[in-house]
Amino acid sequence: MAVVSEVPVEAGLEVLAPAKPWHAVAIDLTRRYPLGTGGAVIVVVMIVLAVFADVLSPYDPEENAFEFMLTPPGYQFWMGTDQFGRDILTRLVYGARTALFVGFSCAFIGAFTGLVLGVASAYFGGRFDLIFQRVMDVFMAFPLIIMALAVVSIFGTGTQNVIIAITIPFIPRCARVVRSSALAIREIPYVDAARACGFSDARIILRHMVPNVMAPFLIMISAFVGQAILLEASLSYLGLGVQEPTPAWGLMLQGGAEEYAESAPWVAIFPGIAISLAVFGFNLFGDALRDALDPKLRAQ
């Protein structure tokens, strides 16, 4: 007679802790990563400003109103007006849209392209990897701004070309970091198992390797957004980026810094603060993300 021992299902299993409510998670994260939270707040505020610019802005960002030219900050214009009488606060709010559009476009396109190329380079290895990495070396030999300047001088100015100019130098930087992670993953048996199952190279790269290099990839994206915002502002400041009358922070700085630094300093100060704050925010957020996702740092 068979004896069936009755064992309770729950026996031997740990009871899972109930999921924390979102605000508890937020408080926990804030306590663990106070600077990162500060960065995240800045990023969220920027996104809100960019998305709701039409609602939040009191004035048209491109409309010249010469009767109000170079009005100092006050009740009517909280951050004053520029030499064309345009409200600086309005242009900053719309400028966030330009900054984020360029920042996210460059970061995502550059990082995704770099991700695919980096993983592919690691996966195929051999001569392909050797040649590909040397090409990456050539691109990485140039500082970001120099590379971006070279690309803008070839393609010309304007938002689209600025995105291209900033994206191109991002690709090798992401590809190099991702490749180093992917090299380790390539040696793990499940990749061999996938190969043995006859999966295509594309499937192995995209379904099995790419998800496992997400941690460095996400960190790179957050860093790239900040860098792209700074590069866009630099190119616009040099007159090679976004063009007037489009509201963009670097352009606002360029239009006012030289001539009005003394007589109307608000024209240069507020865009300068906006650029600094945005880059600072993304960098803090990126650092916190790295701390959270890197197992070694997490253990510490």
Partner 1 sequence: MKRLYSKIAISAVVGAVLAVGGFGAAQAQKVKRGGILNFVVGSKIPSYDGHVESTFGMIHPIRPFYSLLIRINPDNPSSPTDFVCDLCKGKVPTGTDGGKTYTFKIRTGVQFHDGTPLTAQDIVATYKKIIFPPKGIASSRKAFFKMVDSVSAPDKFTVVFKLKFPSGAFIPAVATPFNFVYSKKDLDTHGYTWHKKNINGTGAFRFVQHQPGSFVEGKAYERYHHIGKPYLDGYKAISAPKMALRLQAIRGDRASIEFRGFPPKARDDLVKALGDKITVQESDWNCVLLFTPNQDRKPFDDVRVRKALNLAVDRWGGSKYLSQIAIVKTVGGVVFPGHPLAATKAELVKLTGFGTDLEKARVEARRLLKEAGVKEGFTFDFSNRGVDQPYKVVGTWLVGQWKKIGLVAKQRVQPSGPFYNTLRKTGDFDVSIDFNCQSVINPIADVTKFLGSSGSNYGHYDDPVLEKIYDRLLRAETESDQRKIMREYENRAINEMAHLGITLWWYKINPHRSYVKGWKIAPSHYLNQSLDQIWLDK
Q: By CB under 8 A, is residue 158 in contact with partner 1?
A: yes
According to DSSP, residue 228 is labeled H
Peptide bond into 245 cis (omega under 30): yes
- Site for partner 1, residues 231 to 260, rule: CB under 8 A: 239, 243-245, 258-260
Asked whether position 262 contacts partner 1 by CB under 8 A, the answer is: yes
Residue choice 64, 113, 133, 212 for contact with partner 1 (CB under 8 A): 64
Using rule CB under 8 A, residue 156 touches partner 1: yes
Cβ–Cβ under 8 Å, residues 147 and 164: no
CA 14 – CA 153 distance, rounded (Å): 62
- Nearer to partner 1 (CB atom), residue 244 or residue 294: 244
CA gap 148, 135 in Å, rounded: 17
In the complex, minimum distance from the CB of residue 250 to partner 1, in angstroms, rounded to a whole number: 13
Residue 137 within binding range of partner 1, rule CB under 8 A = no
Strand, helix or coil at 87?
Answer: strand
- Shortest reach from residue 133's CB to partner 1, in Å: 35
> Least distance from C-beta 213 to partner 1, angstroms?
40
Compute the distance between CA of residue 23 and CA of residue 206 in angstroms, rounded to an integer.
Answer: 35
Considering beta carbons, is residue 34 or 239 the nearer one to partner 1? 239
Rounded to the nearest 10 degrees, the angle between the axes of helix 266-293 and helix 34-51 is: 130
Strand partners, 81: 87
- What is the binding site for partner 1 (CB under 8 A)? 62-64, 66-67, 69, 83-84, 156-158, 239, 243-245, 258-260, 262-263
